[in-house]
Amino acid sequence: MTTPMLLESPSPLARSGPGLASLEATLRKDLERLEYPKRSWVLPRRTRDGQPVLDVLIIGGGQSGLAAAFGLMREKVTNLLVVDDCPPGFAGPWKTFARMHTLRTPKHLTGPDHNLPTLCFQTWFEAQYGEAAWQQLGLIPKEMWADYLDWYRRFLQIPTRCSTRAGALSWRAEDRCFAVPVQPVGGGATETLLARKVVLATGIDGSGRWETPEQIARLPRELWAHTRDDIDFEALRGKRIGVLGAGASAFDNASVALERGAAEVRIFYRRKSLPTVNAYRWAEFVGFLKHHADLPDADRWRFIRRILEMGQLPPHDTYHRARAFPNFHIHGDSPWLDVQAVDGAARVTTPHGTYTFDKLIVGSGTVTDLSLRPELANLIGDIALWKDRYSPPPQEANGDLGRHPYLGPSFEFQEKVPGHAPYLSSVYNYTFGCLLSLGFGGASISGMKYSLPKLVNGITRQLYVEDKDAYFESLMAYDVKEFEP
């Protein structure tokens, strides 16, 4: 992968700020001053045979999972654990399959900081490189964002198990908790974690999977890769590459292939022309970000359907990164009608011609389908989807939107049949699948400023309300005297 450009100018990034030690000292003071109420309050829970139960298990240790954990810790929910299947420092896509140079969101955007100025990315950056460097910075280099998140995890002492994969959740009615098998990535003994609440913070594909059309998936595996895969781009030197899709990731992978010496790269997409208007920039205002969930179902549906209909365009720099190569070609109005393996190559037929490639790269995004998620294998039959709650006008039909989970106001799953599986409200879908129900939430930095408080408040509310009788008993027994009359 090419080295990301840290500044808009070619100058190297020199460390000129006061340093992380100074920032961390200030941040500790800020957290101490804001630590009210201080006392722990969540009642400990054990199973009938005495096993300890986590208050919250968070599956996914990227930006959403870590920020959710810290939000809960600030509310004195400390009996929690984050599990993530990546090694330390590699959570999320930033150092693996994200092949752009920078984040696509504006650098001033906030979210994981929970409105603490000393915790935001800008402060972390300026502590190391100075204010002048921040002013010169265009967009945030993706590797630097990954480093910020790793620092965030370590400094805030968020309980995390890296390189750990979670399996299917099961509800234990007798113990009023979920049993979740976890196993080290690469093999090892399986352990069962018990938790009252579970947060799914599994990213863009967390409510489905990265999609590969069937006609491509049936080809020999050496002939194709998904943008999500670990691709050996050096092996593509001198090769003919066909890319399906015209989103940012498709252009990113095309660019890397060209930079590594591919003979030619051709991108194909269904639309007659590339989108040039970014609906996500329109959506970055308080009304939508904070209150999309407050709209009636019909309005939530039409807003999100329109955003998806407008399409996800490649950012300006992403587009021109690829277009700088004369051996890069764009084919609009060109769905792949047929794909065949012929003489060790892939032959692609479109409405406008047939092409032969040494390698195909699939950049067609994700599909929403909770039945594809291993974590939900035991719960899927009872989870309410949008198609169970809302029928759009025929002209607004959209199968993928219909498969989105119909979530409550705090990202919690809802029952398909009321009263049949009430425990589902203790599982929170803080993934990109929340888009229709709550707008930009999980897996979207843009929405974190407003979505994190909803998630955290929903969890603390349940933890308190469920144990209201025990809290009342503690009130009845409370006899700490302020003075002797």
What is the per-residue pLDDT across 156-185, written as a single tens digit (0 to 9) for each?
999 999 999 999 999 999 999 999 999 999
Tell me the average pLDDT across 64-90.
97
Residue 74's contacts (CB-CB under 8 Å, 6 or more residues apart) are: 34, 114
Asked whether residue 458 carries a pLDDT value surpassing 90, the answer given is: yes
- With a cut of 50, say whether residue 475 has pLDDT above it: yes
Cβ 149 vs Cβ 63: under 8 Å: yes
Sequence letter at residue 15? R
Looking at residues 348-374, what average pLDDT do you find? 96
| pLDDT of 16 | 73
Entry pTM: 0.94
Cα 116-122-125 angle, rounded to 5 deg: 125
- pLDDT, mean of residues 72-96: 96
Q: Please give the CATH number for the structural domain made up of 212-276+313-364.
A: 3.50.50.60
Q: In this structure, which topology does domain 20-201+444-469 adopt according to CATH?
A: FAD/NAD(P)-binding domain (3.50.50)
Express each pLDDT in 117-143 by its tens digit. 999 999 999 999 999 999 999 999 999
Mean pLDDT of 253-259: 97
d(CA 114, CA 148): 15
Say if residue 468's pLDDT is above 70.
yes
- Asked if the model's pLDDT at residue 10 lies above 80, the reply is no
Strands 160-161 and 80-83, bridge-based pairing: parallel
Side-chain-side CA neighbours of 3 within 13 Å: the count stands at 5
Q: Please, where in the chain does CATH 3.50.50.60 lie?
A: 20-201+444-469, 212-276+313-364
Q: Which residues pair with 279 in a beta bridge?
A: none
Residue 62 CA to residue 90 CA, distance in Å, equals: 8
- Arithmetic mean of pLDDT, 282-292: 96
Q: Is-contact 255 99, C-beta < 8 A? A: yes
| H/E run at residue 386 | helix 386-389
- Whether the per-residue pLDDT at 12 is higher than 90: the answer is no
Spatial CA neighbour of 322 closest among 237, 225, 249: 249
